Structures are given as structure tokens and as C-alpha cells.
Chain A
Amino acid sequence: MSMFRIFDVAGSAVSAQTQRLNVVASNLANADTVAGPDGQAYKARQVVFQTLMMGQGAQAAASAGVRVSTITEADTPGRRVHDPQHPAADDDGYVTFSNVNAVEEMVDMISASRSYQNSVEVMNTARTLLLKTLQMGQA
């Protein structure tokens, strides 16, 4: 029954977008941190999506789910602020903050939230159609 596959496809999208929202949340939370987990300044992360074929055999081509393949770190230099009093200041008195761009993260968040809503709507529609299919011949 090919309609049931829609829940797998939309479910994979919802889970991938959740992961993207998670990454956005951690980027925004670390927008002002000086040190990341490795002692260096925190680097903004970004998820990379990849198409995931979900069906078997002949149905594989039509069921294209999505998954997060990798999480990349941005290479851009961190924001440097002159603050000699700061405990993390270097010899020249500069503090290197994370390279998170708050505006980009907000845009990413809205995009992820819209995609999430779309997938939920897809699931709701599939559910309604399946329920009506179940009632076939009874009405």
C-alpha cells in the first residue's frame, strides 16, 4: 500500500527538520560564547540534507525521504572584540567570539519551521485520505 509510505517520507522530513532546528538552537545559544567544546571559539554548525530512497525494488524511485548526512562547521573567522580585561583575551587584548551570524540563524529557523509545517500537513492529508479509503463502500 503505497499511501502508508507517505508517513515514512514525511516523517523523515520532520525528523531532519527537527535536527536542523536543534542545530539552529545550539548556534543561537552559542552566539556569544568565547570557547567551544575544543577550547577554540565556537563555530556555527549547519546540517546537510541528503535524499534517502525508502522503498524497495520498483517503488524505491518514488519514495524519496530525506536525512541529515553531515553537520558542517563554518570556517569564517570569529568576531574579534578588543577587551583586554576579558579573561579569554589574547596577547593583543582581543577576544575571539563565535562566528555565529544571528540573522542567518533566524532565517534558517524560519525556513526549517515552514518545511516542518509542510511535512506535518502532508501527513495530515495522507491520514484523512487513508481514513476515507478505509470507509470505502460504507457511506
Chain B
Amino acid sequence: MIQRMTGVLDFQTQALTLRAERQRLIAGNIANADTPGYVARDFDFAAALRDAVRARGPGGNDLGAPVAGRAGATALRYALPAQTSMDGNSVDMDRERASFVDNSVKYEATLRFINGSVRTMLDAMKSHNQG
């Protein structure tokens, strides 16, 4: 029973961990915007989340570290430069900033989903006369 209640939370945890991972990756890209020869990197969020959920197994309720973000769980990809530069740097600042904002909004959204399910669960646990 409790497994059915935490199933949603489990999925959102994987999503949140991957969002944090991606945020860190984009921060690295922005930090290296002026580094010669640096190649911008990113990962396919949907595929990574699918892999993380599959690795966790259906209905897996074992406690422990979440699967997402573990070694080899996310394959990094190299971004193709929209405009090449002389120093071999492929960070597209506009794209990175857009990804950064997009990722932080989705991180917040995931947080709200988690807060929502926690509140639902707490409400369900309360007895009716507690208000």
C-alpha cells in the first residue's frame, strides 16, 4: 500500500536528480564559455529518465541511493556549434542560457509535484476531525 503511495514520489525523485545533474552540466558549459577548445555537453533528459526508471525496476521500493545520476547512467553528448569559432569553443551562450532557464523552471515544477504529492499523502493520513 505504502509502495503505491511512494511510487509517484520515487519517479519524481529520479526526475529531480537528473534535473540537478543537467543544471550542473549547463553551469559547466557557461563557466567555460571562453575556454579555447571546450566542447559544450548536454544529455537527452527523456532518455536518461527512461533509463533511470527502467534501472530502478517496476515497483522497486528498496531504500537507498536513487539510480539517476549514477555512473554511466547518463551518456553525455557533445553539442554541435551553431557558429564555429577560431578557438574551437562550441559553447553557444544563447542556447546555454535558454537551456539553463528551461531546466530551472522544470526543476521547480518537479519540486512542486513532489510537494503536491507529499501534501496529498499527509492529508490522507490525517484523521477527519483534525481539520
Contacts and interface: CB of A to CB of B under 8 A. Distances in A.
A20 B23 CA distance: 25
B29 interface: yes
Given A2-B21, A3-B20, A132-B111, A65 B28 contact: yes
A1 B72 CA distance: 17
B30 A119 contact: yes
Q: Which range holds the interface residue count of chain A?
A: 35 or more
B32 A6 contact: no
A64 B17 CA distance: 18
Contacts of A6: 23-24, 27
A100 to B, nearest CB: 20
Contacts of A3: 20, 23-24
Interface string A1-22: 1110110011011000100100
B115 A136 contact: yes
A9 B24 contact: yes
Nearest to B71: A58
A112 B34 CA distance: 9
Contacts of A136: 111, 114-115, 118
Q: Which range holds the interface residue count of chain B?
A: 35 or more
B67 interface: no
B108 interface: yes
A66 B93 contact: no
Given A2-B24, A6-B23, A51 B115 contact: no
Contacts of A122: 27, 30-31, 100
B71 A2 contact: no
Interface string A77-119: 0000000000000000000000000000000000110010011
22 contacts: A2-B17, A3-B23, A6-B23, A9-B31, A51-B32, A51-B35, A58-B71, A61-B76, A62-B24, A62-B41, A63-B24, A63-B28, A64-B29, A64-B38, A65-B28, A66-B32, A66-B34, A66-B35, A122-B100, A129-B107, A132-B108, A133-B111
Interface of B: 16-17, 20-21, 23-25, 27-36, 38, 41, 69-72, 76, 93, 97, 100, 104, 107-108, 111, 114-115, 118-119
Given A9-B24, A13-B30, 10 more contacts: A6-B27, A10-B31, A48-B36, A49-B34, A49-B35, A58-B70, A61-B41, A64-B28, A129-B107, A132-B108
Interface of A: 1-3, 5-6, 9-10, 12-13, 17, 20, 48-51, 57-58, 61-66, 111-112, 115, 118-119, 122, 125-126, 128-129, 132-133, 136-137, 139
